[in-house]
């Protein structure tokens, strides 16, 4: 019942970590009003359960609209768990991705909103220092040694102390009891083990180009302006140095920075540089952290104990109290797009967050994305250039090799031109290192019957199975199903099953056989599956223990191996022929990045690109190191077709167990959308079966929407899609929206 008299009772709106769009309203129990603040966590009754939620607004009775409200059971935080600005960011990010706020909270906060965010086995360490009033005369000789070590360092962790003075930690513990020393428990800095990290300390004088870039960036950092810069520079041109100095500027203002990298496990060198520069002031978020470690890092960030967070895409959610800068290194990398759960693009969220926080965004790349280049053309971003490699190293010479006429070569040999073989030979003869790049893992991508020409397919998915020798099995790269290779063709019973095509595993085996005595190593996601194996290969590479490194794009990312002077691209067509409007852009990016591994030291590098389409213009632009020439052509094509960045796209995916139902549901959604959007300039393509129409036993359909670039996606679609999602779910069909999709193929 609504009271006739206005009450001064307080209510809170609470978002719970469930896929729900709307917050729920609860009454604040009398006497607890001061604790009701935006951003604190609360325990609330929800149906028959109790849930932890986050207060999104403090309201009065009028918000109830006549409904009854249950009481908040408990307020869990004295101080807001996250700032109001951060909450505002998460709300807008949720709408931009067409995701419910509750789901965004679950994605962005460690373990959702779990009540006990303290790790159950705390990763802490004890730091000792000498008590201010301790008198040496009262100490034993051993205690004096410990005191001297502590005084010299100020404070030491127990591990560091025991390393200096054997048994030192135990001595210090007893000194604390006697009042001779003080102990302080701190969260342990967790991350990659420091043993792999080269020490690259030391400060450098910026080059004139770095100076110019830093002047421009420094001005917006000082003004707390939400400005965006695209820092274009080839590998080795000094971008990282610019990032680190910009981070220093922000730190000197007492503000914090986020440094996003595509894949943190692949960047030990970068981490080494960051650590040696900033020491303990850095939190590192990477995918191999346990939930407890992740929570511990998150707390350090929230408390402002660190001024920099380095991490992969999810680090964009770092809850810093006063964010001044977001660096997105290799901003073109597709790894910034999250491909399950909420499909967010971390680079785009960086721009969104910058606008809310007044933070500067620095998008760095040797091959900026079409989106970033377009931003510099419209004035949304400022282009900064680092035109030269630092030092004497020059760009590698890149040549294109026609793979069509490999006369007399059979099997895997067809993938090796005489030019490539000779180049590897010469490289090894000079005592230098080579890299061979192939964007396909496994031994052979296809097992094909020579009698009936059918290929062995996954029984769950509409794709060919790849043969992996190391597992002695056929693997599906979509559902990760594994089965034994059959002796006979399942279609015709024939016994001539041939391993077709080339994967990294076969390439490594081939290289080992061809260059006996050469030390060959392989790096791809199969290797990466074993914990520590990838960083192991990289460490061996750094120690010069690998002569030929074979791998997928994992070998391309940011590594700096001065001894590598030759890079061979086995088969450029693998990425060029993708049915995706970004195929050329991706090929340019990945091959430029791979090529950039050659000749980083003082010896010049050579690159060979083998292809079946030697006239392809994208490949020629790569060979000419002509990024802007390529981008000009690419943007012209995109504009003509109204593809991003000149239009926006959204992919609706529908899937379910029964093909009929998925087809009918897709038709229903398409009709509803075309009616609702009739007045708008939106084009609907489909519904059609997805390019891979069946994955994990589920049938998949899709609808592609093409919209003008300024279409208010976040305002129109949440309300439009909600009833449709519910309607198809009643038919056992799931509907998912992917705004600005990157994976068009699956």
In the complex, which residues of this chain contact ligand ADP (CB under 6 A)? 204-207, 210, 233, 235-241, 390
Q: CB of 433: closest distance to ligand ADP in angstroms? A: 18
CB nearer ligand ADP, residue 18 or residue 390: 390
Which of 373, 377, 376, 371 is CA-nearest to residue 709? 371
CB nearer Zn ion, residue 478 or residue 581: 478
Give the count of beta carbons closer than 10 Å to the beta carbon of residue 176. Answer: 14
- Residue 483 host element (H or E): strand 482-483
CB nearer ligand ADP, residue 29 or residue 601: 601
Phi, psi of 737 (to 5 degrees): -105, 135
| Contact of 85 with 357, CB cutoff 8 Å | yes
**Is position 460 an interface residue for Zn ion (rule: CB under 5 A)?**
yes
Pairing of strands 606-611, 564-569: parallel
For residue 616 the two structure tokens come to 């392809």
Q: Dmax of the chain from CA atoms?
A: 95
Question: What pairs with residue 67 in β-bridges?
Answer: none
Which of 652, 650, 746, 649 is CA-nearest to residue 702? 652
User: Could you say which of Zn ion, ligand ADP, none residue 458 binds, taking C-beta under 5 to 8 angstroms by partner kind?
Assistant: Zn ion
Please identify which residue in 479, 485, 676, 693 interacts with Zn ion, judged by CB under 5 A.
479
| Interatomic CA distance for residues 551 and 555, integer angstroms | 6
CB nearer ligand ADP, residue 102 or residue 596: 596
CB nearer Zn ion, residue 394 or residue 459: 459
- Residue 450 host element (H or E): none
Per-residue binding letters, 402-441, with Zn ion (x by CB under 5 A): ----------------------------------------
Please identify which residue in 481, 532, 604, 708 interacts with Zn ion, judged by CB under 5 A.
481
Residue 224 exposed, middle or buried by CB count within 10 Å (0-12, 13-18, 19+):
middle
Question: What pairs with residue 229 in β-bridges?
Answer: 362, 382
CB nearer Zn ion, residue 158 or residue 460: 460
CB nearer ligand ADP, residue 278 or residue 443: 278
Taking CB under 5 A as the binding criterion, the range among 5-13, 159-167, 481-489, 636-644 that sits at the site for Zn ion is 481-489
User: Could you say which of ligand ADP, Zn ion, none residue 210 binds, taking C-beta under 5 to 8 angstroms by partner kind?
Assistant: ligand ADP
CB nearer ligand ADP, residue 126 or residue 382: 382
Pairing of strands 698-708, 647-656: antiparallel
Q: CB of 273: closest distance to ligand ADP in angstroms? A: 8
Enumerate residues 6+ apart whose C-beta is below 8 A from 249: 214, 217, 218, 221, 222, 325
What is the residue whose two structure tokens read 């691209």? 569
User: Could you say which of ligand ADP, Zn ion, none residue 476 binds, taking C-beta under 5 to 8 angstroms by partner kind?
Assistant: Zn ion
| Interatomic CA distance for residues 706 and 684, integer angstroms | 7
**Is position 458 an interface residue for Zn ion (rule: CB under 5 A)?**
yes
Q: CB of 386: closest distance to ligand ADP in angstroms? A: 7
Taking CB under 5 A as the binding criterion, the range among 120-128, 340-348, 471-479, 653-661 that sits at the site for Zn ion is 471-479
Phi, psi of 324 (to 5 degrees): -110, -20
**Is position 714 an interface residue for Zn ion (rule: CB under 5 A)?**
no
ω before 687 within 30° of 0 (cis)? yes
Q: Is the dihedral of CA 496, 502, 508, 513 positive or negative?
A: positive
**Is position 93 an interface residue for Zn ion (rule: CB under 5 A)?**
no
For residue 633 the two structure tokens come to 């052509």
User: Could you say which of ligand ADP, Zn ion, none residue 479 binds, taking C-beta under 5 to 8 angstroms by partner kind?
Assistant: Zn ion
User: Could you say which of Zn ion, ligand ADP, none residue 688 binds, taking C-beta under 5 to 8 angstroms by partner kind?
Assistant: none
Size of residue set near Zn ion by CB under 5 A: 7
Q: CB of 390: closest distance to ligand ADP in angstroms? A: 4
CB nearer Zn ion, residue 91 or residue 481: 481
User: Could you say which of ligand ADP, Zn ion, none residue 743 binds, taking C-beta under 5 to 8 angstroms by partner kind?
Assistant: none
For residue 316 the two structure tokens come to 């964009």
User: Could you say which of ligand ADP, Zn ion, none residue 206 binds, taking C-beta under 5 to 8 angstroms by partner kind?
Assistant: ligand ADP
Taking CB under 5 A as the binding criterion, the range among 62-70, 383-391, 454-462, 614-622 that sits at the site for Zn ion is 454-462
Which of 94, 91, 21, 19 is CA-nearest to residue 739? 94
User: Could you say which of ligand ADP, Zn ion, none residue 460 binds, taking C-beta under 5 to 8 angstroms by partner kind?
Assistant: Zn ion
Q: CB of 423: closest distance to ligand ADP in angstroms? A: 24
Q: CB of 445: closest distance to Zn ion in angstroms? A: 14
User: Could you say which of ligand ADP, Zn ion, none residue 461 binds, taking C-beta under 5 to 8 angstroms by partner kind?
Assistant: Zn ion
Pairing of strands 11-15, 733-739: unpaired
Q: CB of 245: closest distance to ligand ADP in angstroms? A: 9
ω before 222 within 30° of 0 (cis)? no
Pairing of strands 24-27, 11-15: antiparallel
Which of 361, 345, 414, 364 is CA-nearest to residue 570? 414
Q: CB of 662: closest distance to Zn ion in angstroms? A: 18
Please identify which residue in 76, 310, 366, 476 interacts with Zn ion, judged by CB under 5 A.
476
| Contact of 655 with 700, CB cutoff 8 Å | yes
Q: CB of 205: closest distance to ligand ADP in angstroms? A: 6
CB nearer ligand ADP, residue 267 or residue 504: 267
Taking CB under 5 A as the binding criterion, the range among 197-205, 242-250, 468-476, 486-494 that sits at the site for Zn ion is 468-476
Binding site for Zn ion (CB under 5 A): 458, 460-461, 476, 478-479, 481
């Amino acid at each position: 019942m609504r009271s006739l008299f206005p009450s001064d009772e307080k209510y809170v709106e609470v978002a719970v970590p469930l896929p729900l769009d709307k917050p729920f309203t609860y009454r604040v129990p009398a006497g607890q009003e001061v604790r009701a603040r935006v951003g604190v966590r609360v325990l609330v009754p929800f149906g028959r359960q109790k849930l932890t939620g986050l207060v999104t607004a403090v309201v009065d009775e009028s918000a109830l609209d006549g409904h009854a409200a249950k009481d908040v059971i408990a307020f869990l935080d004295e101080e807001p768990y996250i700032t109001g600005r951060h909450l505002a960011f998460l709300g807008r990010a949720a709408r931009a991705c067409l995701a419910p706020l509750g789901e965004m909270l679950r994605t962005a906060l460690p373990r959702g909103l779990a009540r006990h965010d303290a790790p159950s086995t705390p990763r802490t360490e004890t730091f000792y220092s000498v008590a201010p009033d301790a008198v040496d005369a009262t100490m034993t000789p051993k205690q004096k040694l410990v005191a001297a070590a502590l005084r010299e360092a100020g404070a030491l962790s127990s591990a560091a102390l025991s390393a200096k003075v054997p048994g030192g930690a135990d001595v210090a513990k007893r000194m604390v009891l006697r009042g001779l020393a003080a102990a302080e428990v701190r969260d342990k800095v967790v991350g990659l083990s420091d043993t792999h990290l080269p020490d690259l300390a030391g400060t450098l004088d910026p080059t004139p180009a770095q100076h110019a870039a830093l002047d421009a960036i420094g001005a917006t950092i000082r003004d707390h302006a939400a400005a965006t810069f695209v820092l274009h520079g080839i590998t080795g041109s000094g971008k990282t140095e610019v990032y680190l100095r910009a981070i220093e500027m922000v730190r000197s203002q007492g503000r914090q920075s986020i440094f996003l990298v595509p894949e943190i496990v692949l960047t030990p060198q970068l981490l080494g540089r960051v650590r040696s520069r900033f020491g303990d002031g850095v939190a590192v978020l990477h995918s191999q952290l346990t939930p407890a470690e992740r929570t511990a890092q998150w707390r350090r960030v929230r408390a402002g104990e660190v001024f920099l967070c380095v991490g992969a895409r999810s680090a964009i959610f770092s809850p810093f109290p006063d964010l001044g800068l977001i660096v997105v290194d290799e901003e073109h990398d597709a790894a910034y797009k999250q491909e399950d759960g909420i499909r967010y693009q971390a680079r785009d969220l960086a721009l969104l967050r910058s606008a809310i926080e007044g933070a500067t965004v620095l998008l760095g790349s040797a091959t900026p994305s079409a989106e970033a280049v377009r931003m510099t053309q419209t004035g949304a971003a400022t282009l900064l250039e680092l035109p030269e490699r630092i030092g004497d190293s020059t760009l590698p010479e890149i040549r294109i090799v026609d793979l069509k006429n490999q006369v007399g070569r059979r099997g895997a040999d067809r993938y090796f031109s005489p030019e490539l073989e000779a180049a590897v030979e010469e490289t090894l003869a000079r005592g230098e290192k080579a890299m061979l790049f192939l964007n396909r893992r496994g031994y052979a991508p296809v097992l094909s019957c020579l009698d009936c020409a059918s290929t062995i397919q996954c029984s769950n998915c509409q794709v060919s199975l790849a043969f992996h020798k190391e597992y002695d099995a056929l693997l599906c790269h979509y559902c990760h199903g594994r089965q034994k290779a059959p002796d006979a063709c399942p279609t015709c019973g024939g016994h001539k099953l041939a391993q077709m095509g080339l994967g990294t595993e076969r390439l490594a085996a081939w290289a080992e056989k061809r260059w006996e005595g050469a030390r060959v190593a392989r790096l791809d996601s199969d290797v990466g599956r074993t914990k520590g194996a990838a960083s192991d290969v990289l460490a061996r590479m750094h120690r010069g223990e690998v002569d030929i490194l074979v791998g997928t794009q994992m070998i391309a990312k940011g590594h700096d191996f001065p001894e590598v002077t030759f890079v061979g691209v086995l088969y450029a067509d693998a990425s060029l022929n993708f049915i995706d409007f970004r195929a050329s852009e991706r090929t340019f990016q990945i091959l430029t990045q791979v090529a950039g591994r050659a000749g980083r030291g003082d010896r010049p590098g050579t690159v060979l690109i083998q292809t079946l389409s030697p006239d392809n213009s994208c490949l020629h632009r790569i060979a000419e190191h002509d990024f802007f020439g390529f981008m000009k052509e690419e943007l012209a094509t995109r504009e003509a077709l109204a593809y991003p960045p000149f239009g926006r796209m959204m992919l609706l995916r529908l899937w379910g167990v029964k093909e009929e139902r998925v087809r009918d549901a897709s038709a229903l959604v398409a009709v509803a959308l075309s009616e609702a959007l009739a007045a708008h300039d939106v084009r609907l393509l489909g519904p059609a079966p997805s390019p891979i129409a069946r994955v994990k036993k589920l049938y998949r359909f899709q609808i592609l929407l093409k919209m003008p670039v300024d279409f208010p996606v976040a305002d129109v679609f949440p309300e439009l899609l909600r009833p449709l999602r519910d309607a198809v779910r009643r038919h056992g069909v799931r509907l998912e929206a992917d705004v600005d999709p990157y994976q068009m193929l699956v």
